[in-house]
Structure 1
Amino acid sequence: MDNAVIRPFRAVGFRGGSAVVSTRTYVPSASWSRAPRDLPEHHVLRLLEPAFRSDDPHQATRVAHEWMDDGTLGIDAEPAFYAYRTVEDGHEALGVVVLVDLEAGNLRPHEDVIAAYAIRQARLAEATRAQWEPITAYTTREPIGPLLAAATDRPADHVAEDLGRSDEIWAITDPKTLRAVSERLADQQLVIADGHHRYAAWRTAPEREGRLALTLVLDQPVLTVGPIHRFVAQLNLDEALLGLPLPALELAGVEAAAEFIAVSETRCVLTDGRRFLGVDAYECASCWVEDVFTPHHGLESDAVSYEPDLDAAARIAKEEGGVSLLLATPSLETVTRAATTGRLLPHKSSWFRPKPRVGMIMRRWG
């Protein structure tokens, strides 16, 4: 097992009952900007925010040491795989948290990354010698769910519940199940659904342990995928399509825009929040924006902002002045093809649900 592509590990987590774990962890949205601003003293984001809100990853190291010493965080006694189940709005997703050896090449990204974000993640992991949030990936051949059913027949080891969602974790130490899970996952490619910047950061880790990636593996049927829309300030809608040889269809409003892009992954709607122009790019919409629209207008990456909610993207264009690009959802087939062929989609082409609750299961080494 020590030399396998898929490895067990000793999980780190908050100690205390469900109420304690629930208040110290959180379910992430598609944007870090929506993370809580006022954090309780022992909230997990105190371990993550140096990668986003400050430039001192060693602050997270100091916090981690304090929490390990005072019992806020604990580490499991023996290595395990961890069955992980979420239930939200009646939708259940069961997967397994494992370590994936990044040097084996089984874990495959489908999106490009923003280099600055990956660098911050790398500095945080190197300073803390930890992975605070799992990558989420999905199976491409044999499903993992059926191998986990027996492990969830007993009460969960850790539970968090709030806002209509529950998260449960079971440690799996049975040698037969460990072997079956390891063999099933090691024998197929696993496509990253969420966590591309963590993947880019961890695969360059200076320590061998840092190149073993904390990963939640789910099966394709339990995943929901959606688009991430774009907003460009100080761009006029009448000028947005000038020089781009695509016919534009006038749409009645935001509901018509949603119906238009739902037809095909190649569709996009440009709007200033008042008028809506639908175009068909004849390729994945995010690829057209990245490869054609953005360079056509000479836009740098920091000139584009991102919003997963369609109504909010249209509203931003109206309130702030500029143009939002409402993108169709890339199909799961397109996502899988991008990962398995290496022809990556642009960064922030999609969002996936469910995301694991941040702080529910973590890892440290050394």
Structure 2
Amino acid sequence: MGEGVGEITGLEDLELAEVRPFRGIRYKERLVKDLGRIICPPYDVIPPAQQEIYYRREENNAIRLEYPMEQPGDNAESNKYTRAAVTLQNWLEDGVLQVDQSPAFYLHDHYFTYMGERRRRRGLIARVRLEPWYCGIYPHEETYSKAKSDRLQLMRAIQATSSSILVLYQDSAQGVAEILSKAAQDKPTIECHCGQSEAISVEEQHLIWTITEPGLTRRITELLADVPLYIADGHHRYETGLTYQKERIREVGTSTGNEGFNYIMMELEDFYDPGLAILPIHRLLRGVATSSLAQLRTKLEHIFAVESIPLTEGSVSNLGGKMTGEAVLAILGLEREALLILRQRQDVSIEGMMPDNRCQAYKNFDVSILSHLILHEMLGVVDGEGDIAYTVDTNEAWQQIREGEYQLAFLLNEPQVDVIKAIADARDRMPRKSTYFYPKVPAGLIMNSLD
């Protein structure tokens, strides 16, 4: 999977991010045996119906800090953000949460099942200095302003973060990996198992080790001092952190640079980690005029070679086997009982039809091609606006088409890590909702104070 990920170039004079150990906030030892009932996914993958399920599961569930619920009668003085702040303070005072005595890096082994295979994803939870984009921190995807507004109000209220931003880095000499492998030989500080439930659709296991020995923490910081970090999941949270940092610096007047608000909590994972799984995010579309649908196949054939495959359960479930060669994407709903596979034509330059101000990797990326050439130019739709839904499940997409909830489903390829890196290195960004790093790093394992 790491094939094609080259060495970082052109960064000799660039200020890079600083990675530090920190005194994490975590649930007290007496609660660790039930931690699987207390942690929750990050806010952006929790539907409103599941939000209430997590509230009911356990009175100390991290959902109350990560994604607090609105209540009737909420106002400027009393609302979901102020309740989250009171909850955090109460949990610290009552001993539900504890602050670790020594600064630490937290080694996190995340076990899960993907495509029938048991995998382990290894990460290092750390504090990372907030820097402007491209000063050692690289985004790869566009963001939504509404999500950032919600996160900022929560951050102002609780002055902490309950979930880690997932970032990728290159451990070329495997120096960090060697330290983490040795640390994992000891007994883990935290071990929890999350079984399938009403809210959790996959069984996961989490092991956490605290690395506090000053020589080791100093060595990890040194090894990561010259390494660019690529945001995989958590762009909104990072941009919110930058805004919050600016607000706090204006508030205090002067900053030493060591205050908590100058850092954000991240989980760092190697580009080459064999457990890394990146899912495509498929598009579902409705509200398209009948006349536009009638003309769509003809328009598609001007650019793509269109192959029609009889539609069966297997043809959708095993889509990956059909998206080979020059396949760009597949479409459900345009032809009755047929799956359309779009492939690049040798006599057509798709890259030449894409916006001039975009990098080459962006121009050849399937989500970009869908957004610009099909949704916008052929259907007059802006990706991320209008009546578009998103899913990582091809069978769910097919069900929505069969039930008439949506007219079209656009099924995409698994994003490749070398494409993500190439677009980020070019200081370009993929369209919003281009990648889904699976599974999400949960909230509540380790938390971070911004004071």
Question: Could you tell me the TM-score, scaled by structure 2's length?
Answer: 0.74
Structure 1 residues 118, 211: closer, same or farther in 2, change over 3 A?
A: farther
| Equivalence for 1:31 | 45
| Equivalence for 1:251 | 309
C-alpha distance in 2, partners of 1:265/1:202? Answer: 40
Does the 8 Å contact 1:136/1:192 carry over to 2? yes
Q: How does 1:337-356 map to 2 (within 5 A)?
A: 337-356=422-441
Question: Quick check: 1:119 aligned with 2:177?
Answer: no
Structure 1 residues 185, 226: closer, same or farther in 2, change over 3 A?
A: same
Give the % identical residues: 23
Does the 8 Å contact 1:228/1:308 carry over to 2? yes
C-alpha distance in 1, partners of 2:325/2:69? Answer: 36
1:66-106 Cα offsets, whole Å, 9 max, x none, are 21121122111121111111222432222211111121722
2:59 paired residue among 41, 44, 59: 41
Q: How does 1:159-174 map to 2 (within 5 A)?
A: 159-163=191-195, 164-174=203-213
Question: Quick check: 1:358 aligned with 2:443?
Answer: yes
Structure 1 residues 348, 226: closer, same or farther in 2, change over 3 A?
A: same
**Residue identity in the other structure for 1:185:** L
Q: Which has the larger radius of gyration?
A: 2
2:365 paired residue among 274, 284, 306: 284
Structure 1 residues 72, 29: closer, same or farther in 2, change over 3 A?
A: closer
Structure 1 residues 265, 60: closer, same or farther in 2, change over 3 A?
A: farther
| Equivalence for 2:92 | 68
Q: How does 1:1-366 map to 2 (within 5 A)?
A: 5-15=18-28, 16-27=30-41, 31-33=45-47, 35-38=50-53, 39=55, 40-50=58-68, 56-89=80-113, 90-103=118-131, 105-142=135-172, 143=174, 144-163=176-195, 164-205=203-244, 206-207=247-248, 209-220=260-271, 221=273, 222-235=275-288, 237-241=293-297, 243-244=299-300, 245-247=302-304, 248-253=306-311, 255-257=314-316, 258-259=319-320, 262-263=323-324, 267-272=328-333, 274-280=337-343, 282=350, 283-296=364-377, 297-300=379-382, 301-319=385-403, 320-366=405-451
Question: Could you tell me the TM-score, scaled by structure 1's length?
Answer: 0.90
Aligned-pair CA distance for 1:240: 4.3
1:147-202 Cα offsets, whole Å, 9 max, x none, are 21222222111221122421111111112211221122221111111111111211
Query: Which residues of structure 1 form unaligned runs of 5+?
Result: none
More off after superposition, 225-234 vs 204-213: 204-213
Structure 1 residues 99, 242: closer, same or farther in 2, change over 3 A?
A: farther
Structure 1 residues 146, 35: closer, same or farther in 2, change over 3 A?
A: farther
C-alpha distance in 1, partners of 2:238/2:374? Answer: 28
Does the 8 Å contact 2:332/2:338 carry over to 1? yes
C-alpha distance in 2, partners of 1:106/1:349? Answer: 22
**Residue identity in the other structure for 1:155:** K
Structure 1 residues 354, 321: closer, same or farther in 2, change over 3 A?
A: closer
**Residue identity in the other structure for 1:214:** M
**Residue identity in the other structure for 2:280:** P
C-alpha distance in 1, partners of 2:340/2:138? Answer: 35
C-alpha distance in 2, partners of 1:52/1:116? Answer: 16
C-alpha distance in 2, partners of 1:130/1:56? Answer: 15
**Residue identity in the other structure for 2:390:** Y
1:86-134 Cα offsets, whole Å, 9 max, x none, are 2224322222111111217222111111111122112211221111110
Structure 1 residues 45, 17: closer, same or farther in 2, change over 3 A?
A: closer
Aligned-pair CA distance for 1:24: 0.6
**Residue identity in the other structure for 2:93:** D
Structure 1 residues 316, 363: closer, same or farther in 2, change over 3 A?
A: same
Structure 1 residues 134, 189: closer, same or farther in 2, change over 3 A?
A: same
Aligned-pair CA distance for 1:8: 1.4
Aligned-pair CA distance for 1:136: 0.7
1:20-50 Cα offsets, whole Å, 9 max, x none, are 2111113569833274532232111111224
C-alpha distance in 2, partners of 1:251/1:4? Answer: 49
